[in-house]
Amino acid sequence: MKYNHLSKWLVVAFLFSSNWVLAQVESNNQNDFNEFTYRQGSAYRAASGKPGPDYWQNGADYKIAVTIDEDEHTVTGKVDITYTNNSPESLSFIWLHLEQNRFTPDSRGTLTTPIQGNRYNGDIDGGYTINNVAAQLSKRGSTVSSKHIITDTRMQVFFNEPIPAKGGVATVSMNFTFKVPVKGMDRMGRLTVADGTIYALAQWYPKVAVFDDVEGWNIEPYLGAGEFYLDYGDFDYKVTVPYDHIVVGSGALQNPKEVLNGTLLERLEKASNSDTTVYLVKPEEVLKPELTRPKQEGTLTWHFKIENARDVAFSSSKAFIWDAAQINLPEGKKAIAQSVYPKESDGQDAWSRSTEYSKASIEHYSNKWYPYPYPAAVNVAADINGMEYPGLNFCSYKSKEGSLWGVTDHEFGHNWFPMIVGTNERRYAWMDEGFNSFINHYSSVAFNEGEYGSDLQQTRKYVNWLNSEDREGIDTYPDVANTSNLGMIAYMKPAIGLFLLREYILGEERFDNAFKAYIEAWAYKHPQPNDFFNIIENVGGENLSWFWKSWFYGTDNIDLAIENVVPYGNDQVVILSNKGGVPMPVKLGLTYADGSKERIMLPVEIWQRGDSWNYQHKSNKQLVGVEIDPDKVLPDINIANDKWPSDIYKE
């Protein structure tokens, strides 16, 4: 039988007559709304969230020339680094990353990999051979130092004289060689396919570590889950390979007439002005270099440049199918999308649509958030599940359809986080993976009228993890986190946090203004978490300490509940409680006896002094139903207490 609601109201009104009004002041939640961390501004980082008037960062420009030995699977070459010290202190040494040293039996990364392995498995027969180290100031009379110390994946290079503060320049050069691993921690390596070997080259040259105003030298070793933190500079690099290889890389090809024949040059020009995909090397032309290469023996040197980037990667193989199309950017600017993949990856359900996906992804983010800055966007099929570098991705050669769209879109999204907005991935993975997963949601909804769509909005599908005793906080460092938690704390939970800010807390317009302001303020710079929090609050116009503290720096959950609805004179009172540790504004969906509906939003401040709140709803219409979060935006861990009357009172 159906429950008599009027009778229940009369009973509850009597029971609560002496104490329900007091319930909302019985406890105190002021701690949840206090500032959770020291966020005052400085001359380097303003309280507004923008770089301060004295903000500085150092820079490094690179000239690199390497040769691939296809028989030995080695890369050998030289790097020349020009380093600019913009910091307010002189530097008697600099630190570099030697990330190929991860691939040795006694590296820290190898020794901290569990016996059963994980995603970040790597070969152990590699590592750098370094020689001819030379370091000196860029001024007359400076002397050359060869003093250096190599420790695992770090290298300390000393100068005979300190690099002067506020603009001092020095150079460091060295020769290096390493064996390309087959398994390169799912970030680089080599893959044998029917028509040859695909070399996916990243972490391939010694690179300078970041010296900043927060940590000084950022010298965490390369272990596994933690990715990269790098300064910006210009790259000029040359790759010498067998004549029948195709090379693609970060940036723009400088010498197309030297490495492409007339047929390829014509096709490249056509692709650069085509909104549909154009073959550069057709499937039937693979292993027929006489149709596409300018010479038929020896080697060719491919020359690339990219400006204001934090890294470069490239790929080389004779097994590549190669296609391309133009990318249309804001203000009439253009770039080119390219894909390279073996025959094993060919097909309209697979990599033949890669360039279409790449073009759509780059165009979406450019129009919605910030213009894409690089001349090319290259998608490379490799034995890598998905890894990003400026202007170039490595994605799984086995991916098809929605999975290929998803990984392509995700890796290209990383050009905004952390390639444009240069966060410290090794410490704060959530500031690139989470932010990128968030923008991926909107690009996937937009692509081809939702061909593959997105499920980020289905936040309650993660309730089991949110209730897990083994869950960790978003702020947990990647190399410290349990690898089973990394997908949530680096990707999904921070992405959901931004989704809640946009769709529930701030609204689209306020959030978008603030998010764009963050990207614009920190483009090609190094924001910290507090910089992000401050700029979102300043532009969005909302103190969100309660949200940063509970969602980003805690493991509590959202559990908003309706305890009851009772009469109060001519009005009705909705008795609410916050049973989780994360306070939230409360959106209520109201249903009246005449069938009409209404929605109201109660501000988060109702929880400032306690976990109970009594909302007096003034209306001349009879309430027959109340629901918290009727659109199910919140990842509320207990759906059973979101409605009144509860389902337990129904037949």
SS (H, E, C) 173-188: EEEEEEECCCEECCCE
Please enumerate in sequence order all residues whose Cβ is within 8 A of that of 468, keeping only pairs 6 or more positions apart, or say none: none
What is the reported pLDDT for 34?
A: 73
SS (H, E, C) 329-342: CHHHCEEEEEEEEC
Q: What's the N-to-C CA distance of the chain in angstroms?
A: 6
DSSP 3-state of 21: coil
pLDDT category at 18 given cuts 50, 70, 90 is very low
**Residue with more model confidence, 176 or 37:** 176
Q: Could you tell me the domains of the chain?
A: 39-51+449-551 (no CATH), 55-187+203-230 (2.60.40), 558-642 (2.60.40)
Helices 493-500 and 433-446 cross at an angle (nearest 10°) of 60
Provide the token pair at 186: 């799912």
What is the reported pLDDT for 40?
A: 85
Decide if pLDDT at 19 tops 80: no
Q: What is the mean pLDDT of residues 452-470?
A: 97
DSSP 294-328: S-SSSEEEEEEEEEEES---EEEESS-EEEEEEEE
Strands in 386-389's sheet, in edge-to-edge order, are: 278-281, 321-328, 334-341, 376-382, 392-396, 386-389
Decide if pLDDT at 217 tops 80: yes
CA distances from 142 to 91, 169, 198, 629, 650 (A): 15, 11, 43, 68, 86
Q: How many whole angstroms separate alpha carbon 78 and alpha carbon 173? A: 7
Residues 343 and 286 sit within 8 Å (Cβ to Cβ): yes
For 595-644, how does the pLDDT look when each residue is reduced to its tens digit (9 = 90+)?
999 999 999 999 999 999 999 999 999 999 999 999 999 999 999 999 99
The residue count of the chain comes to 651
**Rounded mean pLDDT of the chain?**
94
For 238-261, how does the pLDDT look when each residue is reduced to its tens digit (9 = 90+)?
999 999 999 999 999 999 999 999
DSSP 539-587: HHT---HHHIIIIIS------EEEEEEEEETTEEEEEEEE-SSS---EE
Q: How many CB atoms lie within 10 A of CB 552?
A: 21
Is 226 exposed, middle or buried, given 0-12, 13-18 or 19+ CB atoms closer than 10 A?
buried
User: To the nearest whole percent, how much of the chain has pLDDT over 90?
Assistant: 92
Decide if pLDDT at 11 tops 90: no
Q: Which amino acid is at 488?
A: M
List phi, psi (to 5°) of 486.
Answer: -60, -40
Decide if pLDDT at 1 tops 50: no
Helices 433-446 and 401-413 cross at an angle (nearest 10°) of 130
Q: How many whole angstroms separate alpha carbon 501 and alpha carbon 226? A: 26
pLDDT category at 21 given cuts 50, 70, 90 is very low
DSSP 603: -
List phi, psi (to 5°) of 520.
Answer: -65, -40
Residues 180 and 199 sit within 8 Å (Cβ to Cβ): yes
Provide the token pair at 367: 């129009």
DSSP 427-446: T-GGGTHHHHHHHHHHHHHH
Q: How many whole angstroms separate alpha carbon 553 and alpha carbon 568? A: 40
**Residue with more model confidence, 332 or 18:** 332
Task: Pick the range with the lowest mean pLDDT from 316-325, 413-422, 475-484.
Answer: 475-484
For 517-568, how does the pLDDT look when each residue is reduced to its tens digit (9 = 90+)?
999 999 999 999 999 999 999 999 999 999 999 999 999 999 999 999 999 9
Q: Which residues pair with 79 in a beta bridge?
A: 64, 174
Residues 175 and 99 sit within 8 Å (Cβ to Cβ): no
User: To the nearest whole percent, how much of the chain has pLDDT over 70?
Assistant: 94
Strands in 571-578's sheet, in edge-to-edge order, are: 560-568, 571-578, 612-617
Provide the token pair at 122: 């790597």
Q: What is the mean pLDDT of residues 484-507?
A: 98
Compute the radius of gyration of the chain from its Cα atoms: 28
Peptide bond before 418: cis, by omega within 30 degrees of 0? Answer: yes
Decide if pLDDT at 650 tops 90: no
Decide if pLDDT at 649 tops 70: no
Provide the token pair at 209: 């570590």
Nearest to 304 by CA among 253, 243, 380, 355: 253
Decide if pLDDT at 279 tops 70: yes
